[in-house]
Amino acid sequence: MQTKENRSTFLASVDLYSSEKRMNAHYVEYKDKMYRLALSYVKDYYLAEDLAHEILVKCYLKREKFRGESSFRAWMNRVAINHCLDFLRKGYLRRDLLHENVALYNNEAVSTPECDVLHICENEELRNKLGQLPFKYKQVLFLYYFENQSLKEIQQVLNVKLSTVKTRLFRAKRMLRDKYE
């Protein structure tokens, strides 16, 4: 009977034609809780704000699916967790580029002399930093990035275990990153 009471209590307080004032009260009540939960997943204040708002809107739109098997807050937490996990699965970090026309910068016809000089300097700096790495790490980076070989192909070329290739690649990238810092 507790589940029916949970559902009926919630639906009575938030029916389809609930006043805007009541909706605002529910929004304010759960806003901080959803924000903190989203922040614990994405570790970014602005993204957490956006996600918290999306979660609250999602809960409002899907409120009819609340079956009352648990408290409304537990249901909202589950919706929030699923929403955050879905967001992270989509790989927002890999897609988080500015909305600039990147092709413009890569277009050879639009290239300016300043861009050419910068490109040459950056390539020279990269070559110098790669030259400072130990041979076994330099070799893995070269095969992976410049020869576009897969990890399995590198394993066969170097005649080492796959885990060794992964470790060398990871360490080489870390060493290179450290040289740029």
pTM, rounded to two decimals = 0.45
* pLDDT tens per residue, range 112-161: 787 778 888 887 888 888 888 898 898 888 888 877 888 888 888 889 99
Cα 130 to Cα 145: distance, rounded to the nearest angstrom: 12
Report which of residues 159 and 102 the model is more confident about: 159
CB-CB contact of 160 with 153 (8 Å): no
Cα separation values, 143 from 139, 151, 159, 166, Å: 6, 9, 13, 12
What is the fold of 2-94? Answer: Rna Polymerase Sigma Factor; Chain: A (1.10.1740)
Mean pLDDT calculated for residue range 45-64: 88
Q: Domain spanning 133-181: which CATH class is it, in words?
A: mainly alpha
**Tens of pLDDT, residues 16-52:** 445 567 777 778 888 998 999 898 888 888 889 999 9
Please report, for the chain, the start and end positions of each structural domain, with discontinuous segments joined by +.
2-94, 97-131, 133-181
Q: Is the pLDDT of residue 82 over 60?
A: yes
